[in-house]
Amino acid sequence: MNKSKINSAFDLTGQSALITGGGTGLGLGMARCLVASGAKVVLVGRRKKELEKARAALGKQAFVLAGDVTRLETAPTLVDQAERFAGPVSILINNAGVHLKKPTVETSDAEFAAVIRTHVLGAFALTREAGRRMVKRNSGSILFTASMTSLFGIPLVVAYSAAKSAYVGMVRSLATEWGQYGVRVNAIAPGWIGSPMLESVLAGDPARKAKILGRTPMNKFGEPDDIGWAAVYLCSPAAKFITGVVLPVDGGAAIGF
């Protein structure tokens, strides 16, 4: 096999990706790697200043779209606008999220519902709209940013854990329903990746940081681009026979002791 054929297996030229929560952290890492692989990216988020900074860093292949995934009724409009910027959306990455670290007995119904609305209902509305179009085109790739909480129990994050576990169910159901139409649906389960969200979670909690590193065989935190290159792989022709999987990118944390 020659080098050009190997390179083409990971080439995303001509692909257009809609990435929610794409202005910072893992979303930006995925956007950066997708652009490097030839894709156009449309970054969706609520913080326009952060989106503009990301666009400036990513260059002419990137576009920004101010939007809030919790406004479920706007999903068709968001996809319409993204397609005006970058052409038919062939890749959707559901990455927008909020974190809630709180004892379960102190978590209110409203707080629980807000986390579910952002992660589960927001992702579903966009997936339904983008997926409808992908099914008609008989082609597409959808990714969900899952979590270690999708794989094992972590205390103090019951709402977040419920939301991320729901992703796994959606991935499996959608993969079986849409596979016949050439639409692949997968998830990445990041381990502990250096990001503003991780910093906020670990702030003032050195014991938690030590525990995380102690159960991670590689004994370090990952980087956003580690998630980005995994996303490139799952969206590329190299993964054309992969659907319904949850890929841990975690330095071994899911199997560590």
Active site residues: 160
DSSP annotation string for 210-231:
HHHHHT-TT-S-B-HHHHHHHH
DSSP annotation string for 15-48:
-EEEEETTTSHHHHHHHHHHHHTT-EEEEEES-H
**HSE value, Cβ hemisphere, 13 Å, CA-based, for 139:** 11
Cα end-to-end distance, the chain, whole Å = 39
Number of other residues whose CB lies within 10 A of the CB of residue 239: 19
Q: What are phi and psi of 147, to 5 degrees?
A: -170, 165
Residue 54: C-alpha distances to residues 16, 17, 190 (Å): 17, 15, 21
